[in-house]
Structures are given as structure tokens and as C-alpha cells.
Structure 1
Amino acid sequence: MVSGETAAVRRGRPPQTVEQAEEVRQRIIDATAAVFARSGSRGLSVASIIEQAGLARPTFYRYFPNATEPLNVVLDASNDGLVSAIATALSGSDEPVQLGIRLIDAYMDWARGHGTMLRPLFAELHDPGSPVSAYRERALDDIRALVRKAFAELGRRAPSPLDMDAALHVCEYLVYRLAIGTEPATQPDAALTAEARLVMIRVLLVTLGTRDDLAYAMELPGLIAE
């Protein structure tokens, strides 16, 4: 005779391993990123996520209480990736101009790594109704702190808040232009991306650099127009 407890175990779903549970959780997160890339946060819902993931609704709710929570995981990873990349870039040289170039390249690589998600990400940065906007200020604060730390390590006076924000906002705006000017399913034009990179570096030099930095930059091929 089978006991009631044993029968209940047999009738129920086999318990998941930790690895299986993490796989399902990641599947939900990946589906959330795909829906966000296609429709932005306004088009994000539990229904759209489970359709993308190919999962049942009860399965979703075992991992997340709503559609915003897996989006927060996606945005956390995006912010962490940006701040980490810039921290690494600013620790790779003791030459100020090269540090600035490395910072811009890290920023561009981070943006490029988002693929089609870059478009809605930047489209919603300034939308107070989007969860994306809160992450923007957090990332900017972290980047400001990293730049001030790099200046201190170089023995330089920290840039003024206005100079710092001018540099950050111009860089943000240029990537925003690249993202918005691109078809949803494609990457930004390579030539336009290269031009935007040069403009960002020049802006960084003028707002945060010194005369010596500009003199050094003049010797770098292709950076400053003849």
C-alpha cells in the first residue's frame, strides 16, 4: 500500500535542482530583455514575457512577482557592466589623454554590447515614467565618482561639476542619437559610430583636459582635424 505522502510526491512535479531553477530564471530574464528590446518597458508584461520564454504563467510567478522585477535584473546588469568597464578603463594607464580615450572606448563597447536593446534603453533614459530613468542617475553618480578618483590618483584637481556633466551628457546624447537613428532590428552605422567616438573624445579633452593634454592629442593621428 502506498502512503498518502508518497502518493502526493509521485503525483507532483519532480523537485528542481539548483541548476535547473537557475536555468529557468535566466530564461525569464533573457525573454524580458528580448521583449524590452522589441517593445520597450511600455510593452513589457507577464504575458509577453512568458510567451517569449515559452513558459507557463505559474512558472513565472515562482521566480518573479511581476514584469518589472526581471527588467530590474536586466537594468542592474547593464549598469554594473558600464561602471565596471569604465573603472577598468580608468585604471589602465597613467597618461590622461589615453585614459580619456579608453573611457570613451569602454562606453562605446558597453553600448555596442546591448545590440537592439540600446534603442529602447536610451529612448527611455529621460522618461520619468520608465524604470530605466532611475538607473541613469545611479550610473552617472558612479561614473562621476570614478572620474574624480582617477583625477586624484593623477594628482590633478577634480573637474568642476559643470565640466563633468557637460562631458557626460554630450557622450550620452551622441549614443542616444546613434540609437534613435537606427532601425529597431539593426546596429548603428559603423562610419557614424566612428565619428561619434571622435566627437566624444574631443569633448572630453576640452571639458576635462589641460593645454598639455591638447598638445599631446594634437600628435595623435586622426584625432584632431588639420
Structure 2
Amino acid sequence: MANHAAEEKPLRKMAEAFKDLANTLNSQTLDEAAKMEVAPFSHACTLVSPLFRCLGIAFKFAELDYVAKVGDLAEASKSITTLHTMMDQDIQANCVRKAGSHTRNLLRVKRGLDMVKVLFEEIIAAEGNSLKDPASKAYTQVFAPYHGWAIRKAVSAGMYALPTRQQLMIKLNEDEVSARTQMQNYVASCETVISYIDKLFTSRDLGIDW
């Protein structure tokens, strides 16, 4: 039973994967352009998918969209080495903002990571057993500006079906103390990764609000 429990730690796996990504970025010297490989990035992103599933119907739209976009990046990693190169190829092909482009999908994936980061920050700061306020704040801050009325209304209705804080801990196979630690680890590491991705976009005058 202990071995099985050790294997089923989705929160720990995602926190460790993003810590590895952040360490890779932080280890690169100031006089070289920071590069992140597509393969380890897309793999780390796949480890976030179970969290969306644990949140239930309120974030079903996010799960479906996120999984599809991460799948595209994973496929791209078979022929493209770095995020840097991937974006430059889309720019050269003049397809950055077209639906289905790797760069557009990267931006959508980044928002998914950011939503989870804000959710964890709110859960850490919140008291009580309800996840409605943390989840609502995370959705409103990250996703809502890009969604139409119908999706926002559906998400709002779905918030009433969210698991409780205790139920989420059980699904993630963590207790309150261990979950808080892993959430804090993810937040810190993901901040580094998101900042890097934002710089990839802004340094190419692409912006991040589209």
C-alpha cells in the first residue's frame, strides 16, 4: 500500500517537474540566451492535467483545451528542440496567431499553468474547507478576460460542484501539510517558467494578451 501511495502523487510529480525546469533556467549564465527544450517542458505540463481533472466540471473546458494544446507541444518536440526555435519558426511562417500554431498553443498552455499557480496561492492563503473562492479568483484573474459570456456562466455554475479542500487533498493523496509544501514549490518554480515564457513573447513583440 505504501508503494502504491508513493506512485500516486500527482501534486508532488508536477511540483518536482517544474522545479527541474526552473533549475535549468536558473543554471544558465547571464551571458547566454536562456533556452528551454520543448520535450521536458511539455512533459512537465502533462503532469498538471490530473489537477484539472480533480477540480471537476467547473474546469472541464480548461482540461480539454489544456490537454489538447500540451499534446500539440509534445508532438512538436519530436522535431523542434527549443521553445525559442519553435516560436521563431512560426514567426517565419507567419502563422503565430493562427489557430493550431505551436506558439498560440504555448500561450494557452501558459495560461493553464498560471491559473493553477494562482489557485494554489489562493488555497494556501485561504481558510476553511471550500475551494469556491480560490477557484473563482484564479479563473477570474487568468481565464475570464479571454472567455465569452456563455463560458463564464458555465464555469460559474460549475463552481458549486467543486470538491472540498479535504476532498481535493484525498484525490491528490496528500495531507494538508504535504500539499501546502508541494503547492508552494510549484508556485515558486512555475513563476520562473511563466516569466521566461512571457519574455519569449514580449521580446518578439508578440504580446501575451491575445
Question: What TM-score does the superposition give when structure 1 sets the normalisation length?
Answer: 0.28
Computing the radius of gyration from Cα coordinates, the structure with the larger value is 1
Question: What TM-score does the superposition give when structure 2 sets the normalisation length?
Answer: 0.29
By relative contact order (CA 8 Å, sep 6+), the higher-ranking structure is: 2
